[in-house]
Amino acid sequence: MISYRTRMGRQVRFQCILFAWCLPQVSHVPDFEDSDDLESLIPDAVRCYLENPPPLTIGTLMFEPTITLQQIHEYWMMHAIDQAQRAFEQDEVPVGAVVVHEDRVIGEGYNQRESLNDPTAHAEMIAITQAAEELKSWRLLNCTLYVTLEPCPMCAGAIVQSRIPRLVYGTMDPKGGACNSLYQITDDARLNHRVNVTADVHQLECQTLLKEFFAIQRAKGKK
């Protein structure tokens, strides 16, 4: 068993042998006698594994990371929840978002509609703008947007416009969601970009934060 700490800070453990299927896809073929070389293969191998789930073994070598795509989504969703928490503390509807590019957060934001008096200051819009500045491009290729609440029509439109390939959200918004609930803007064949959407990641945590917020607001007699 090999342990490896990814750039996300997560400790990953591997079975000690690698599948031959990944060998043509990695940057170099290591000398398997040499454990240092084997370790250097692992980041590429993880990416290959996640992007191309392994077919039947075609060789004698076996690779099996103990990390799953779902665990990666949960890890980054916790960052989005941290952002939502910041909104909560500032008396804003608690929605948070992060844009991740190659295991790195390049944009983050939380709802600031009230404090900025800006109807467009949704968490996703702020995170997307920051990410585009970081990449120096309006095309957010190879990025994943994590957001605690299903995006509204405006944000779903921004996701399509920025060509983000993958969206992961926490909880559905039956009254305003535009990626599943009311509209399916991110999966509309009439538009020139479609998004791979994953729902219900840390759903309970995201939903509870919103419920708590609105319960407090009702108690205050505000909303």
Catalytic one of 33, 124, 150, 212:
124
Q: How far is the CB of 154 from Zn ion (least distance, A)?
A: 5
With a CB cutoff of 8 Å and minimum separation 6, the contacts of 77 are 146, 148, 168, 170, 201, 202, 206
Residue 16 is assigned to a ligand binding site: no
CB 4 within 8 A of CB 42: yes
Residue 53's CB is within 10 A of a number of other CB atoms, namely: 9
Q: Tell me how many degrees the CA angle 207-211-217 measures, rounded to the nearest 5.
A: 150
97 binds Zn ion (CB under 5 A): no
Instruction: Compose the 103-122 pattern: x for residues touching Zn ion by CB under 5 A, - for all others.
Output: -------------------x
Task: Clarify whether 124 is annotated catalytic.
Answer: yes
* Cβ at position 124, least distance to Zn ion in Å: 6
Measured CA to CA in angstroms, residue 74 lies from 50, 54, 81, 183, 202 at distances of 15, 22, 10, 25, 6
Sketch the per residue contact string, 123 through 152, with Zn ion: x for CB under 5 A, - otherwise.
-----------------------------x
CB of 155 or CB of 172, closer to Zn ion: 155
Annotated binding site for Zn(2+): 122, 152, 155
Residues that bind Zn ion (CB under 5 A): 122, 152, 154-155
